[in-house]
Structure 1
């Protein structure tokens, strides 16, 4: 049967912090992830998204994600703060009226500033390389808003599909465009933006206008159009299949800003998904080597599993499959090895990857 893959947590220290905002008498909840070693480590802040189906106080604490593993692998100390009113953070965000997405982002920028101030007083943080602020969706929007703080300690902004939809407002896209214009006029920090053509939240017409307004008003930004990614490019950052695509691009951007980007802790990275081999059509179970009818039935079940999914075969006639999680390929192959089996990947997601020997 398919097995759900756990996150890789070995060798990672997770600490929950309550960071005081003394001027307002509240505290912000944040999660700190430390890689192996004694440090000091460069610092990255990763801002969370928002689930529009639950109230902010019911949203769970932002924990493991591809950004955490990417930056841990490169030797960063990772801090993920919850914005005021979210999860265990105190306070409330102001209500956003139509065309007021920038207002929310600017309040959250002050929360991020408080977190950076606090973390740079900690002995295991190295301030010399500079701080990175990153985020996806709502977190990407707050990342762009942070550029208005003009914090010279921050050397790069990383925006994955950033934005804030106001479901009650038909002019919500224009609020993003206007907000991007205002952010760009006040920001001097280099940024990189990742957006795609099949984004279910922010279509190309919206993010292209956002980028144009941001840069025309003075913001520094490199735009990466990821095209069509799986069934929704809004998930480009979060999907197991995405990290091997965006990591080299982000590496090059960080290198251009003089920031650490080389892999120091490869144990935190997932095993790459191999490309299609063109050996057989995905649905042709008669082409699967080694297996019997039971193995072919297992393959039909594999085809019904959600992505990411992996199917492997071995010469002893057995088949193994897994889906979900951060490193399904590594999980399956390591499991085979632990059981003394020599497994070969046959298919991942929507493609056959096996090569006939």
Structure 2
């Protein structure tokens, strides 16, 4: 089935329960608003950060470093907050990760100055992204010092300008970085489209280094800033430069293709693609095998693939089950857990009278 049809279908799809193994049963989550202290150009810099991790997990957790895109103005850059990305961070925490959203300099409550604007006359994307990579590398090292972080297992994820920034970080091959996820990555230079796009293609090629971490690229076909023709050039440049790139081409996303990072329906698709890469990189995520075991244990006989897809779905999410009819319904990506539960129970009650909430996000609420 085409991705576009899947996006429409799973907005209202029925489904059921999540795995019970420790990696999955991670609610509640612990959320921490904090600041990281790093060194940039031999000076102290403080970066706003949001840490989300599973509350009950013990020991050192793999680290997911998450970073943002570039706002359209200095005012909106200051208004952006790490908490704006809490939903994405929670999706990673539910997969067994310590997720850290980091605001680069000039954004949110991080130290300034604002990033300098690039002009056609003096266009140097290498220097621009090198500065971003300095900050991300400093944040990575600071987070790897935490007692609850495994310094040997880290990934970096970024959207838009942040997606390009994690590619710039990867070329440095920092210790412990096992992969990077570039979601709609790049930099749009206003009033400098052709030259800016050519510069972006050129700098992407220079970032490919032997032994660098593998890359997952995710773009929508209707990305208004980075259209398929540009993305194809960027990907060809990366591959020609020797990069290890897996590319995911999403169907058109409404209302805007560039906003797939936090878009609920788009996350339903790209999180599953990311899960596939995490498994290939031998990193934690939910277990399809455990999903199949639970499906059989519940005696379910239909929509097995839909059942498994719940585990990759973004939160806040909930599942309702009719024990008598062996039917399941779920909602995901809602603004609150209560809303997800209400919607799942409502849909289940359309065909059954014994519906109960089975899972709240990835935590079982069924009696033993």
When normalised by structure 1's length, the TM-score is: 0.71
Distance 1:65 1:209 in 2: 32
What runs of 5+ residues in structure 2 fail to find an aligned partner? Answer: 1-26, 291-309, 320-330, 352-368
User: Is contact 1:65-1:238 (8 Å) kept?
Assistant: no
Determine which of 265, 268, 272 is the counterpart of 1:244.
Answer: 268
Question: How well do the aligned residues superpose, as a CA RMSD in angstroms?
Answer: 3.2
- Secondary structure (helix, strand or coil) at the match of 2:43 reads coil
Q: Spell out, residue by residue over 1:185-213, the C-alpha distance to the aligned partner (whole angstroms, 9 max, x if none).
A: 47711000001211111101111111111
Note the 1:1-357 alignment, pairs <5 A: 11-22=28-39, 23-37=42-56, 38-55=58-75, 58-63=78-83, 64-92=85-113, 93-98=115-120, 99-128=123-152, 130-170=153-193, 171-185=195-209, 188-262=212-286, 269-271=315-317, 326-327=333-334, 331-332=338-339, 334-335=341-342, 343-344=349-350
- Secondary structure (helix, strand or coil) at the match of 1:184 reads coil
Change (3 A) 1:337 1:207: closer
Instruction: Say which one has the larger Rg.
Output: 1
User: Is contact 1:149-1:187 (8 Å) kept?
Assistant: no
In the TM superposition, what is the alpha-carbon distance from 1:230 to its structure 2 partner? 3.0
State which drifts further: 185-194 or 136-145: 185-194
Instruction: State the aligned residue count.
Output: 285
User: Is contact 1:74-1:262 (8 Å) kept?
Assistant: yes
Change (3 A) 1:167 1:344: farther
What runs of 5+ residues in structure 1 fail to find an aligned partner? Answer: 1-9, 274-322, 346-357
Distance 1:197 1:219 in 2: 22
User: Is contact 2:172-2:212 (8 Å) kept?
Assistant: no
User: Is contact 1:185-1:214 (8 Å) kept?
Assistant: no
Change (3 A) 1:122 1:330: closer
User: Is contact 2:71-2:77 (8 Å) kept?
Assistant: no
User: Is contact 2:334-2:340 (8 Å) kept?
Assistant: no
In the TM superposition, what is the alpha-carbon distance from 1:235 to its structure 2 partner? 2.2
Change (3 A) 1:30 1:206: same
In the TM superposition, what is the alpha-carbon distance from 1:169 to its structure 2 partner? 2.0
Distance 1:73 1:201 in 2: 31
In the TM superposition, what is the alpha-carbon distance from 1:144 to its structure 2 partner? 0.9
In the TM superposition, what is the alpha-carbon distance from 1:344 to its structure 2 partner? 4.0
Distance 1:233 1:57 in 2: 21
